[in-house]
């Protein structure tokens, strides 16, 4: 009986460990932001607020930084949802852009689609986030692709 209890504890420990390991989205990304016909090279630092953003399962707050080199840096705050069931991640976060003597809120919506998700999980490729940035009134600012370095 003691052996069965010990075996059960061991399997439970391995199961919990599996949920706390594996690929994460946290890290430094090179971001190509396309506004009209212009492409800007921005930087994104991303991490989970309380724990790493795990691809196998995450639904919580995120934080980080967007840097537009030579122009501004802004902290970011938002949420992320990753699911092994759908093999996707969705992120939604905002920053305050400060440029040309003014500031305004920008909302980013990003996703790691199922094809990219599987490349990260199965082939150990870096995550590639795709999405769009919106002004506070909901109008499109631009689209982006962010690849973790």
- For the chain, give every domain's residue range: 24-148
Confidence of residue 15 (pLDDT cuts 50, 70, 90): very low
Task: Give pTM, 2 decimals.
Answer: 0.85
Answer yes or no: CATH 2.40.128.120 is held by domain 24-148.
yes
CA–CA dist 83, 4 (Å, integer): 32
Q: pLDDT at position 1, please?
A: 52
3-state helix, strand, coil in the chain (%, to 5): 20, 60, 25
Instruction: Work out the average pLDDT over 120-148.
Output: 98
């Amino acid at each position: 009986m003691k052996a069965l209890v010990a075996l059960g504890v061991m399997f439970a420990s391995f199961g919990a460990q599996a949920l706390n390991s594996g690929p994460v989205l946290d890290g430094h990304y090179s971001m190509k932001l396309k506004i009209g016909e212009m492409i800007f090279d921005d930087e994104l630092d991303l991490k989970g607020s309380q724990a790493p953003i795990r691809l196998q399962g995450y639904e919580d707050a995120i934080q980080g930084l967007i840097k537009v080199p030579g122009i501004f840096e802004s902290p970011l705050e938002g949420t992320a949802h990753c699911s092994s069931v759908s093999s996707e991640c969705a992120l939604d976060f905002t920053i305050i852009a400060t440029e040309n003597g003014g500031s305004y809120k920008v909302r980013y919506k990003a996703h790691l689609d199922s094809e990219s998700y599987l490349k990260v999980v199965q082939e150990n490729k870096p995550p590639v986030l795709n999405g769009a940035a919106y002004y506070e009134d909901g109008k499109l600012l631009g689209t982006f692709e962010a690849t973790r370095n």
